[in-house]
Amino acid sequence: MGMEIECLICLKETAIPKNLNTGNYDGQITCRECGSLLQVKLVRSKVEQRRIERVGHPRPDPGMLLGALA
């Protein structure tokens, strides 16, 4: 299992992509749950800093979408 980070908006854990160097990374990560964009700094696979860049929108529930079409 890879490294995860808690979203500052929805408080859900989101996985950090495996192709990122978690030993030394300073960049953006998108929350897979709510779509918010987080600026994070990772040093030695630990979160040193994180802040909100942009608040995302929750993903729609497919069941609700299908119900709206009926």
CA pair distance 31, 36, nearest whole angstrom: 5
pLDDT in tens, 12-43: 999 988 888 989 999 999 998 889 999 999 99
For residue 59, CA distances in Å to 2, 24, 32, 46 come to 23, 30, 9, 28
Q: Note the Cα 62 to chain centre separation in Å.
A: 20
Which one, of 49, 48, 53, lies nearest residue 28 by Cα? 53
Q: Each residue of 39-70: pLDDT tens digit?
A: 999 999 899 999 998 888 766 666 655 565 55
**Rounded to the nearest 5°, which phi and psi values hold at 4?**
-130, 160
Q: Where are the domains of the chain?
A: 4-69
